[in-house]
């Protein structure tokens, strides 16, 4: 089903919301053809009379457990259509009812609070959720399963053993000239294999993350928080939408900063994001980057601050390490967790007496400041702080 055919089935307020949000289907409808098909399918579901039935609500809550958005982790018309279709239902729910739908409630509140959606949703009043008093989710622990002893495998028939061992016996009993011929053949095969392997190795480019970890392998970029909320299932986590200049829209990032930085001090803030860590699931929400912060030399109790890019920085600006050996380096597309590249570099991150962020080479003790083309990145107040 096409996008236009799908929205034709929506009720008027929801249809107008989706049309305005997508500029009549020209934006937020999916980049790839597969995504566009999924978006249209979700919009079609939003137009069904039973979209808010108990079965569909429960199914949607389950679907959203590991997701922030419905299609390919990007905000699309699918999310807006489902939000609009469920608005009337959610506006009537009591706390005990939406507490029972934690993933769907998180999703609904995130969409209605999105600065990208809000300008088009004037017909949809904000639904207030009492998240602060939500009960702690119950975690069911399954009893360990008892391991049953497997019966010992039957010994293979003696004939099979004889067949298996026959080549060895023949080789041992053969005249001396035959093994020499065999060895020569094997040697030729090995030499031919080595020659072919050499050609293959020459044709294949070396892996980008080979060798010692260096800071230029880390993809740092300027970001701006365009939306933030407390994680519905974890008291100490924020769920942020961070614009890092990508056409696909903001990235979802989960940060454990609730107890250290007030939410008011996070909104609309510019920051430095680590963008090539492997995405991680944080209590049901997938995080696609990490916020770079300075932690006091006295520990977290001494304070945590966002590392700030220079005043003229824009979302997506490249952040790099000073020095000819690093400043022109190309970051890896994704850091391999098994190689512990970030973990090897991170101990050298520090803020100088000038509050400037830097990496100190542990071998040469050379200092490489962290900067954009417009200037050095700094911590607001912390000196001698570690960065992570």
Question: What digits encode the pLDDT tens for the residues 88-142?
Answer: 999 999 999 999 998 899 899 989 988 778 888 888 999 998 877 777 655 454 5
What's the mean pLDDT in 294-309? 94
Q: Give the DSSP letter of residue 120.
A: G
What's the mean pLDDT in 6-26? 93
Tokens of 271: 């920051």
Distance CA(320)–CA(326), nearest Å, equals 8
Which residue did the predictor score with more confidence, 372 or 185?
A: 372
Tokens of 111: 């969409």
Distance CA(151)–CA(154), nearest Å, equals 9
Would the CA dihedral through 107, 113, 117, 121 be positive or negative?
positive
Distance CA(184)–CA(209), nearest Å, equals 39
In the chain, what percentage of residues exceed pLDDT 90?
60
pLDDT at 82 over 60: yes
Tokens of 318: 């490249």
Least confident of 46-60, 141-155, 289-303: 141-155
What's the mean pLDDT in 131-160? 57
Label residue 297 by pLDDT band (50, 70, 90): very high
Label residue 159 by pLDDT band (50, 70, 90): very low
Buried b (16+ CB within 10 A) or exposed e, 192-226: eeeeeeeeeeeeeeeeebeeebbbbbbbbbbbbbb
Residues 6+ apart with CB under 8 A from 311: 374, 375
Residue-averaged pLDDT of the chain: 83
Q: What does the pLDDT read at residue 67?
A: 84
Residue with tokens 């200037």: 375
Buried b (16+ CB within 10 A) or exposed e, 133-155: ebeeeeeeeeeeeeeeeeeeeee
Distance CA(134)–CA(167), nearest Å, equals 71
Full-model pTM: 0.51
Complete DSSP assignment for 132-197:
TTPPPPP---PPPPPPPPPPPPPPPPHHHHHHHHHHHHHHHHS-THHHHHHHHHHHHHHHHHHHHH
**Helix residue ranges per DSSP H, 230-334:** none
What's the mean pLDDT in 19-29? 91
**Alpha-carbon dihedral of residues 207, 248, 376, 258, nearest 10 degrees?**
-100
Q: Is 209 helix (H, G, I), strand (E, B) or coil?
A: coil
Residues 6+ apart with CB under 8 A from 201: none
* Total residue length of the chain: 388
Which residue did the predictor score with more confidence, 172 or 316?
A: 316
- ∠313-111-130 over CA atoms, to 5°? 110
Label residue 87 by pLDDT band (50, 70, 90): very high
Q: What does the pLDDT read at residue 72?
A: 77
Nearest CA to 38 among 79, 84, 83, 87?
79
Distance CA(191)–CA(183), nearest Å, equals 12
Least confident of 69-83, 200-214, 242-256: 200-214
Provide the 10 A C-beta neighbour count for residue 33. Answer: 8
**Kind and range of the H or E run holding 319:** strand 318-321
pLDDT at 304 over 70: yes
């Amino acid at each position: 089903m096409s996008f236009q055919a799908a929205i034709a089935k929506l009720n008027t307020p929801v249809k107008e919301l989706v049309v305005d949000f997508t500029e009549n289907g020209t934006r937020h409808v999916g980049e790839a053809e597969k995504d566009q098909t999924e978006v249209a399918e979700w919009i079609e579901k939003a137009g069904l009379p039973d979209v808010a039935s108990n079965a569909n609500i429960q199914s949607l809550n389950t679907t959203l457990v590991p997701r922030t958005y419905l299609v390919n982790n990007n905000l699309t018309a699918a999310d807006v259509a489902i939000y609009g279709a469920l608005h009337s239902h959610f506006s009537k729910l009591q706390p005990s009812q939406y507490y029972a739908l934690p993933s769907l409630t998180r999703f609904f509140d995130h969409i209605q609070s999105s600065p990208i959606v809000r300008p088009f949703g004037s017909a949809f009043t904000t639904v207030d959720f009492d998240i602060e008093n939500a009960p702690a989710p119950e975690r069911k622990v399954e009893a360990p399963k008892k391991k049953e002893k497997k019966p010992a495998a039957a010994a293979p028939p003696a004939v099979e053993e004889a067949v298996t061992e026959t080549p060895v016996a023949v080789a041992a009993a053969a005249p001396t000239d035959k093994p020499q011929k065999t060895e020569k053949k094997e040697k030729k095969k090995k030499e031919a294999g080595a020659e072919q392997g050499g050609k293959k190795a020459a044709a294949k480019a070396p892996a980008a993350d080979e060798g010692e970890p260096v800071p230029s392998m880390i993809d740092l970029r300027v970001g701006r928080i365009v939306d933030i909320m407390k994680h519905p299932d974890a008291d100490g986590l924020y769920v942020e939408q961070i614009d890092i200049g990508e056409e696909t829209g903001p990235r979802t990032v989960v940060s454990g900063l609730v107890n250290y930085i007030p939410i008011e001090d996070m909104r609309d803030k510019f920051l430095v994001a680590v963008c090539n860590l492997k995405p991680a699931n944080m209590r049901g929400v997938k995080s696609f980057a990490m916020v770079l912060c300075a932690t006091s030399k006295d520990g977290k109790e001494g304070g945590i601050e966002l590392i700030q890019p220079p005043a003229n920085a824009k979302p997506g600006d490249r952040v790099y390490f000073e020095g000819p050996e690093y400043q022109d380096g190309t970051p890896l597309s994704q850091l391999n967790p098994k190689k512990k590249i970030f973990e090897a570099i991170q101990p050298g991150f520090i803020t100088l007496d000038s509050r400037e962020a830097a990496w100190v080479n542990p071998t040469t003790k050379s200092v490489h400041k962290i900067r954009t083309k417009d200037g050095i990145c700094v911590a607001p107040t912390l000196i001698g702080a570690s960065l992570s």
